[in-house]
Structure 1
Amino acid sequence: MRAWILALCCFAFPALAAPPAAPTLAQFEQRFVEQLKKTQPNWKVVQKSPGELEVAPPGQSPQLVYLDNAHRQALQNPADTEAVIARHIAALQGTRATDTAQPIDLARVVPIVKDRAWAEGVARTVTQRGGKAPKPLFQEPLNDALTVHYAEDAPERLRYLTEADLAAWTTRPEALRVLALANLRRVLSDVEVRRGNGLAMVTAGGNFEASLLLLDTLWTEAQIGLPEPWVVAVPARDLLLVTSLSTPAMVERLRGIAQKAHRESAYALTPELFVRREGKWVALGR
């Protein structure tokens, strides 16, 4: 999806293209499901949305499986795709019954930006399919459209923290934000601002672009290269676009890009635009 946006913004960065042999998310998911059904033919597997499966071993409640991390590893080394799938299936088999009992690795907890309806939708889907209602996920409001969740970003899974997970660790929710942001800064080694024609695209490897909204150290005129106040679009988890409020024509152009990207993304967040005011991202009125 980022390819057409780069072209629309008149950027020319061929290095962003994935290696030709790398599987798309749909291809990776299909191969993952085929292999899982071969190794566990009695498991019920439902493909819910791109990169999201609902898996239920016999006699057990269904659980959601996200293929984001696995697919990212396959993109980094396409020749290793089958081995990546095998490792993740083995991890799924080994943790399905005890996952919630395993302690959280706090060194891997990072903030994940989601739309407001995401957590409720996950819980509703599980119960509609006959599963036990999941424990409430811990979340913080970012603004009227977006929330901040926290997840343990392990190689074989992405485990979202529940309110119970937080209570078992600390009575101060703000401590989780500090910890997670420090972890995010540590794992992000490839943040780059790409500019062209009054727009900027901030890239971070494809998984944490929306989370960059939380990094105050990024948001300076020296780094963004556009005058304040900034208007941003996060139509998808892997897409962060910026322009300046001082250029109304570019703001409207950004709005159109955001709406199109939101419709077409496998990881859609919101088509809304936000402006940074006193360190916070607030909705931009039309």
Structure 2
Amino acid sequence: MLKEMLRVAGGLMLCLWLACAPAYAADKDMPAEVFTRQVAEMVRERMPGVKVEVMAPLELNLVPASGEDARIYLNNIYTLYLAEQVDGRPALLERYIASYTEPLPEAPVKREEVVAVIKGNDWLAEMERLAKGQGKPYEGIYERLNAHLLVFYAQDMPTRMRYLNKSDLEAAGLDRSGLRPLAVANLKRQMPEIEVYREEVFSMVVAGGTYEASILLFDDFWKGERARMAGPPMVSVPARDLLLFVDSSNPEAVAQLEALTRKMWGDTAYAVSDALFIAAPGGWRPVER
């Protein structure tokens, strides 16, 4: 189901938005402290053998009977919760809690489960900070797409996404050099039909609400879009479920893309980057602004 978005960026109306995506004028009717306590209680009910500590607003620490502590940061789910219709909030929280409380599979990751996830520098910095706090280096598997974006590799499961590390690859017998084509092929196979909603100068990609940013890696898709334009495509990925693009030869479109990207990046959950990128030989080149 789609809903209209707010009018932004100099009068641009970008209609058609996923109902599960964050609204950009969220009703902040629950303080972060109250939300954190509510989530903590839900986790305690579902994980009675785990001590759940509230460290700060939107930050929990899980202490199992054995093994390492785990930090949970609630910023993204809090943003989604505030934007959700009141009657949809319980189900949203249940899905989120299930992603932490359901046990991980013991079998190695399967080749068909490997997917590519686009992230920004801030996300990598946060993962490295968390790992350092536990006295170890960050071991996630990723490669750099450009100065602002990275491609992480994850195991896609029904209720969660788990980022892969070196030991996961070894257990599954996966070669790191072949991850990109494998992960992209898997995404293409499992992703719903890619839809493009086009305004007069502006387009938005919709493909299920989780992996839209990863469509940057679909060369065949962009070959088709390039044929429609006078100049190379210019894109932005302010969040993992937001992929916006324009014809780079149109100055008005570029200005609208820049304004809308900054607005969305500042307000959305699962933020990626506020940078713009233009299609170039060898990949997506950051646009100097």
One fold, TM greater than 0.5? Answer: yes
| TM-score, normalised relative to structure 1 | 0.76
Quickly say closer, same or farther: Cα 1:233–1:81, change in 2 above 3 A.
Answer: closer
Give the number of equivalent residue pairs: 268
Identify which range, 116-125 or 252-261, moves more after superposition. Answer: 116-125
Pick aligned residue for 1:137 from 140, 152, 174: 140
Pick aligned residue for 1:232 from 226, 232, 235: 235
Cα distance in 1 for partners of 2:111, 2:184 equals 12
How much does 1:251 deviate? 0.8
How much does 1:37 deviate? 1.9
| TM-score, normalised relative to structure 2 | 0.76
Q: Within 5 A, what are the aligned runs for 1:20-31?
A: none
The answer on whether the counterparts of 1:193 and 1:200 sit within 8 Å (CA) in structure 2 is yes
| Same amino acid, percent of matched pairs | 30
The answer on whether the counterparts of 1:6 and 1:12 sit within 8 Å (CA) in structure 2 is no
Cα distance in 1 for partners of 2:53, 2:67 equals 13
Q: Deviations over 1:167-224 (max 9, x none)?
A: 4445742311111111100111131111112010111121111101001111134588
1:110 is aligned to 115
Give the unaligned 5+ runs of structure 1: none
The answer on whether the counterparts of 2:12 and 2:256 sit within 8 Å (CA) in structure 1 is no
Cα distance in 2 for partners of 1:198, 1:234 equals 17
What is the root-mean-square deviation of aligned Cα atoms in Å?
3.8
Structure with the higher fraction of residues in helix conformation: 1
2:19 is aligned to 17
2:52 is aligned to 44
Quickly say closer, same or farther: Cα 1:5–1:145, change in 2 above 3 A.
Answer: farther
Q: Deviations over 1:116-136 (max 9, x none)?
A: 2423421312443xx353651
* 1:149 alignment partner, SS class: strand
Give the unaligned 5+ runs of structure 2: none
Q: Within 5 A, what are the aligned runs for 1:55-66?
A: 55-63=62-70
Cα distance in 1 for partners of 2:93, 2:263 equals 33
* 2:13 alignment partner, SS class: coil
* 1:159 alignment partner, SS class: strand
Quickly say closer, same or farther: Cα 1:236–1:18, change in 2 above 3 A.
Answer: closer
Cα distance in 1 for partners of 2:242, 2:15 equals 17
Quickly say closer, same or farther: Cα 1:168–1:37, change in 2 above 3 A.
Answer: closer
1:160 is aligned to 163
Q: Deviations over 1:23-47 (max 9, x none)?
A: x9x9998765432123445522458
Q: Within 5 A, what are the aligned runs for 1:1-286?
A: 3-4=5-6, 9-13=12-16, 16-18=18-20, 32-40=39-47, 42-46=50-54, 54-63=61-70, 84=95, 87-88=98-99, 90-91=101-102, 94-95=103-104, 102-128=107-133, 131-133=134-136, 136-169=139-172, 172-222=175-225, 225-286=228-289
Quick one: which amino acid aligns to residue 4 of structure 1?
A: L
